[in-house]
Chains A and B, each alone.
Chain A
Amino acid sequence: MGFSKDQLLSQLQELEIDYSKYEHPPVLTVEEQAKYVSSSEGALSKNLFFKDKKHRYYIISAVVDTKVDIKVLSQRLGLGKGGIRMAPEEALAELLQVSLGCVTPFAVVNESARDVSLLLDQKFKNQTRFIFHPLSNDVSISLSTSGLDKFLQSIGRDPVYVDLEANANPVVGKDQPPDLAVYVPSNSVVVPELPNKTPSAQAPPKNVSAEKTKPVASPKPSKSTGNVKSVVQNSGLSVFKNPDKFVEEILDKTSALLLSEVKGENVEALAETLRKRLTSEFTHLAVMYKNIAYSEGFYAGTQCQPKRQTIIVKTE
């Protein structure tokens, strides 16, 4: 079981980190939270949980009115334009051990979140205090940047502050490496773990940028556990062999295009809805397509004539 809010709060007290606690009915959105916790107590934060194609996860914690552009973020991380999307609910439960509407920087206290990259809005440094959920969405706490930093350092993490609105039109190339690439985790995470996944060579996933990567800013304890494995998918072949992966690839590209053509926060939600509603339909179509292709090949095989032998006749 993950850290509970009480364990977290007592840890904060032990570290002599000053915070104020506000209890309220469970809230799922920032708007609801705002009803119960006024901004005089601190700046409300929005907390987003992302995943990239190589199963690496990111928490982005920002001041509510900071614009977080997924596409830009993806490029700055060196993942291309459609490289990241909202992480699925299962990942929330498995890695962060929190419920919906409860993403918070404090979730990295859990062992399971060891490989999750945490990026904090630069703007937090301008405020005196800011507000997060302490692992439960029926409580909010406000504390200072230095308090949060102290906590993160106590669990072995270097706090990373990033200007989320800078570099709105990133140009990524050989001479301009993606500026946030260094924060991409070096380990990917499979949620939930299944034994016997495609047994290809276990190489650490590389960043897309051409440059060599600097060591990742947040140090992680390097013990290996049985629980979370790093797996590099043998993606080349399985995308075409496996209807699920095939459909995922199609929807990834579609979402990426949609996000790049249309702006707005609703667009991300729309992309997710499309993905949810279309996955099952498309998979059905893909299976039929695969079956037909196989059957045609199979039939051809039954009609196949054996290879003719070429006989070389020596002529005198």
Chain B
Amino acid sequence: MDVDKKDSIASDSSEQVVNPWEVAAKDGGKIDYDKLIDQFGCQRLDDSLIDRVQRLTSRQPHVFLRRGVFFAHRDFNEVLDAYERGDKFYLYTGRGPSSEALHLGHLIPFMFTKYLQEAFKVPLVIQLTDDEKCMWKNLSVEESQRLARENAKDIIACGFDVTKTFIFSDFDYVGGAFYKNMVKVAKCVTLNKAMGIFGFSGEDHIGKLSFPPVQACLSVPAVPSFPSSFPHLFPGKDKLRCLIPCAIDQDPYFRMTRDVAPRLGYSKPALIESSFFPALQASLHAFKLLSILFILFSQGENGKMSASDPNSAIYVTDTAKEIKNKINRYAFSGGQDSIEKHREIGANLEVDIPVKYLSFFLDDDTELEHIKKEYGEGRMLTGEVKKRLTEVLTEMVERHRMARAAVTDEMVDAFMAVRPLPSMFE
């Protein structure tokens, strides 16, 4: 049911649009994240918060924090307040397993969540919304379950600790305490609210709203935010706080969750939100969405940057040669047309994709600054920057591949078993 998918052709839009179905910059330019923060009403993740994270975790903050990839939040400071007092929290993230092919953009939220787990020493629940993909993408139940398990392997390869992580698929786990919460949430959401979130109008036929998945979809982001949904993990800890790393376009769903939570006697989940990961050919106007937790309505996949266009992204299965090729041929460069002109004016760092990618994945702050300076002032050429990027990405993909190869079916079973996690806060 693709009722809410709007084709994301936004080059002529006069206002930027960001919602779970569509992301488009104003006049085909860049997304104005400050405006977005204002529009959504969340808060900026400023340097003082990052310093605080550093002090609390006694380690360098993750590269995504330092470079402003995760740049907005709701109630993160309250989570930190509670943490300082000794009140822990748990993490919740997820994925809609619609394809086997994972690219780097898909890994970003998991890389960050892994850092959060390690740094704060807290447990994590990961939701695989196989049921929802089965319905929206018209996959068979078996196929969506299979994809969920395959995706779980890539997720595990990011380095989550099995003694602190519970991965579950909706088909396996929905029921019991989880389902009870789903119904509780559904009872709290009025028709008007649902229409607001889903963009229905009075003109749409009732079939759309009565279609069960819609209700489920409304509950889906909400329910794992409540610890009572996991009685085997958090027995008696109904007030345990939840922190959700996600992409900023998912904010509307969690606003709804935060609205419902106090009415059910639960703590509001806190959010820590990321910006979008650009496709290799950023010249196309819409930005590809970070495949965050659950893309409830398939979009990125069908937009201009689609997972079906292999040249728009680097996949975790790409060989070193393929990575090099893709970067060299498809990564949009901000360098000038001729070497002379480049040496004179320098590169346009605003639109240069290799530098943008390096800002995501090159850990060394000093080296990145150096590259930006030299490239921006024309002394370094695009070829060199692309070469460095290729090295960094190849190393990353190789490391992932090695870890992925070590993930057995038994390991997936272990991660997905409904079992207590006694060491979850150690």
Contact = CB atoms under 8 A, between A and B. Distances in A.
B212 interface: no
Most buried by B among A196, A241, A295: A295
A244 B56 contact: no
Nearest to A195: B86
Contacts of A198: 426
A32 B180 CA distance: 68
A242 interface: yes
Contact of B411 (A191, A242, A292): A292
Interface residues of A, number: 26
Interface string A191-203: 1101110100000
A296 B156 contact: no
Nearest to B399: A284
Contacts of A195: 84-86
Contact of B410 (A192, A242, A284, A298): A298
Most buried by B among A196, A290, A296: A196
A243 interface: yes
A192 B54 CA distance: 10
Contacts of B414: 291, 294-295, 298-299
Nearest to A238: B426
Contact of A192 (B58, B163, B413): B58
A287 to B, nearest CB: 5
Contact of B159 (A192, A196, A288): A288
B162 A284 contact: no
Contacts of A298: 410, 413-414, 417
Contacts of A88: 58
A299 B410 contact: yes
Given A241-B423, A284-B399, A298-B417, A291 B58 contact: no
Given A295-B408, A296-B410, A299-B413, A241 B426 contact: yes
Nearest to A279: B59
A90 B58 contact: yes
A190 B29 CA distance: 49
Most buried by A among B54, B163, B399: B163
Interface string B387-426: 0000000000001000100101011011001000001011
Chain A binding surface SS class: helix
A287 B164 CA distance: 11
A193 to B, nearest CB: 9
Interface residues of B, number: 26
Nearest to A289: B406
Contacts of B160: 287, 291
A36 to B, nearest CB: 25
Interface string B82-100: 0011100000000000000
A263 B22 CA distance: 61
A294 B164 CA distance: 12
B159 A284 contact: yes
A238 B121 CA distance: 13
A192 B56 contact: yes
A282 B156 CA distance: 17
A256 B255 CA distance: 52
B159 to A, nearest CB: 5
B322 interface: no
B118 interface: yes
Interface string A71-102: 00000000000000000101000100000000
Contacts of A241: 163, 423, 426
A288 B403 contact: yes
B399 to A, nearest CB: 7
Contacts of B55: 90, 94, 192
Contacts of B406: 288, 292
A295 B408 CA distance: 9
B161 interface: yes
Interface in B128-181: 156, 159-163
B163 A194 contact: no
Contacts of A287: 159-161
A284 B403 contact: yes
A316 B163 CA distance: 53
Interface string A293-311: 0111011000000000000
B403 A243 contact: no
A243 B161 contact: yes
Interface in B186-245: none
Nearest to A291: B162
A148 to B, nearest CB: 31
B86 A242 contact: no
A194 B160 CA distance: 22
Interface string A208-243: 000000000000000000000000000000100111
Contacts of A191: 58
Contacts of A290: 161-163
A196 B426 CA distance: 10
Contacts of A283: 118
Contacts of A242: 426
A299 B426 CA distance: 23
Interface in A234-259: 238, 241-244
A194 B411 CA distance: 32
A294 B163 contact: yes
10 pairs of A and B residues whose beta carbons are closest in the complex: A195-B86, A295-B411, A298-B414, A295-B414, A299-B410, A291-B162, A294-B162, A295-B410, A196-B86, A287-B159
30 contacts: A88-B58, A192-B55, A192-B58, A194-B56, A194-B58, A195-B84, A195-B85, A198-B426, A241-B163, A241-B423, A287-B159, A287-B160, A288-B159, A288-B403, A291-B160, A291-B161, A291-B162, A291-B414, A292-B406, A292-B408, A294-B162, A294-B163, A295-B162, A295-B408, A295-B414, A298-B410, A298-B417, A299-B410, A299-B413, A299-B414
Given A287-B160, A292-B408, 4 more contacts: A195-B86, A244-B118, A291-B162, A295-B410
